[in-house]
Amino acid sequence: MRILLIHSDYIEYEAKKKLDFAEEIPEERRKDRMEECLVVFTSVEKKDEGKIETIVEKTCEEIKKTAALVNTENVMIYPYVHLSSTPASPKFAENTVNAIYNSLKSDLNVKKSPFGYYKAFKLSCKGHPLSELSREITGEKEEVSEALKKAEKVKSSWHILTGDGELISVEQYDFSKYTNLKKFTNYEIEKRRITEKEPPHVSLMQRLELVDYEPGSDPGNLRYYPKGRLIKGLLEKWVTDNVADYGGMEIEAPIMYDFEHPSLKSYLHRFPARQYVIQTPNKRVFLRFAACFGQFLMAHDATISYRNLPLRLYELTKYSFRVEQRGELSGLRRLRAFTMPDCHAFVADIEEAKKEMMIRFDVARKIQEGIGLDIPEDLELALRVTKDFWNESKDFLVKMVKKWGKPALVEMWDERIFYFVFKYEWNYVDNLDKASALTTDQIDIENGERYDIRFTDQEGNENYPVILHLSPSGAIERMMYALLENAYKDSQKGIKPSLPLWLSPTQVRFIPVSEEHLSFLEKIEIEGVRYDIDDRNETLAKKIRTAEKEWIPYIAVVGDKEIENNILSVRIRNEENREMRLDDLAKEIKEKTKGKPFERVPLPIKLSKRPVFRG
Per-residue pLDDT tens over the stretch 46-60 = 989 989 999 999 999
For strands 420-429 and 380-386, give the pairing. Answer: antiparallel
For 195-222, b/e burial (b = at least 16 CB within 10 A) is beeebbbbebbbebbbbbbeeeeeebbb
Q: d(Cα 528, Cα 282) in Å, to the nearest integer? A: 49
Q: Name the DSSP letter for residue 446.
A: S
pLDDT of residue 273: 65
- Which pLDDT score, from 0 to 100, does residue 153 have? 58
Contact (Cβ atoms closer than 8 angstroms) between residue 1 and residue 48? yes
Q: What are the helix (H) ranges across 86-158? A: 90-104, 146-153
Q: Please, what's the b/e burial string for 523-556 (b: 16 or more CB within 10 A of its CB; e: otherwise)?
A: eeebeebbbbbbbeeeeeeebbebbeebbbbbbb
Distance, CA of 524 to CA of 514 (rounded, Å): 17
b/e code 369-400 from CB counts within 10 Å (16+ = b): ebbbbebbebbbbbbbbbeebbeebeebbbeb
pLDDT of residue 131: 83
- CA-CA distance, 391 to 386, in Å (whole number)? 9
Query: Using CB atoms within 10 A of its CB, is residue 106 exposed (0-12), middle (13-18) or buried (19+)?
Result: exposed
Q: How many CB atoms lie within 10 A of CB 580?
A: 18
- What is the Cα 371 distance to its own chain's centre? 17
> Closest Cα to residue 345, out of 356, 336, 354?
356
Q: In whole angstroms, how far apart are CA 159 and each of 173, 189, 233, 430, 455?
A: 8, 11, 38, 22, 38
**Residue 48 CB coordination number (10 Å):** 25
Roughly what angle, to the nearest 10 degrees, separates helices 226-246 and 350-370?
140
8 A C-beta contact, residue 232 and residue 339: yes
Rg (CA), the chain: 28
Q: Select from 184, 167, 186 the least CA-distant residue to 385.
A: 167
Determine the Cα angle at 226 with ends 223 and 228, to 5°: 65
User: Is the CB of residue 87 less than 8 Å from the CB of residue 45?
Assistant: yes
Could you say which of 3.40.50.300, 3.40.50.800, 3.90.1150.10, 3.30.310.50 is the CATH number of the domain covering 501-609? Answer: 3.40.50.800
- Tell me the three-class secondary structure of 393-451, residue by residue: HHHHHHHHHHHHCCCEEEEEECCCCCCEEEEEEEEEECCCCCEEEEEEEEEECCHHHHC
- Rounded to the nearest 10°, the torsion over CA 277, 280, 283, 286 is -20
Bridge partners of 41, per DSSP, are: 4, 78
Cis peptide bond prior to 376, omega within 30° of 0: yes
Tell me the fold of 2-136: D-tyrosyl-trna(Tyr) Deacylase; Chain: A; (3.50.80)
Q: Which of 382, 424, 443, 386 is nearest to 161 (CA)?
A: 382
Quick count: other Cβ atoms within 10 Å of Cβ 436?
22
List, in order, residues 6 or more apart from 278 with CB less than 8 Å away.
Answer: 256, 284, 285, 286, 287
Contact 161, 286 (CB under 8 A): no
Who contacts 190 (Cβ-Cβ below 8 Å, separation ≥6)?
none
Cα 399-403-404 angle, rounded to 5 deg: 120
Per the omega criterion (within 30 degrees of 0), is the bond before 319 cis?
Answer: yes
Contacts (Cβ under 8 Å, ≥6 apart) of 418: 147, 151, 270, 271, 272
Is 100 within 8 Å of 76 (Cβ atoms)?
Answer: no
CA 435 to chain CA centroid, Å, is 11
366/241 Cα distance (integer angstroms): 11
In the chain, the N- to C-terminal Cα span, in Å, equals 34
The Cα 11–Cα 480 span in angstroms is: 42
Domain definitions of the chain by residue range:
2-136, 156-253+304-484, 501-609
Task: Please answer whether residues 15 and 110 qualify as being in contact, where contact means their C-beta atoms are separated by less than 8 angstroms.
Answer: no
Per-residue CA distances from 224 to 51, 211, 500 (Å): 37, 5, 19
Q: Report which of 469, 489, 496, 212 is spatially closest to residue 373, judged by C-alpha positions.
A: 489
Question: Please, what CATH class does the domain formed by 156-253+304-484 belong to?
Answer: alpha beta
- If the chain, 615 residues long, is cut into consecutive pieces of 10 residues, what is the mean pLDDT of each piece? 95 93 90 96 93 93 90 96 92 95 95 94 88 83 55 77 96 95 92 78 97 92 97 98 98 92 76 77 89 94 98 95 81 93 98 98 98 96 97 97 97 91 97 95 96 96 98 95 97 97 98 91 93 95 97 96 90 95 96 97 97 89
Report the C-alpha gap between 456 and 462 in whole angstroms. Answer: 5
The residue type found at 323 is: V
Residue 502 is classified by DSSP as: G
Q: How far apart are CA 543 and CA 552, in angstroms?
A: 12
For residue 155, how far is the Cα from the chain centroid? Answer: 26
Task: Give the chain's length.
Answer: 615
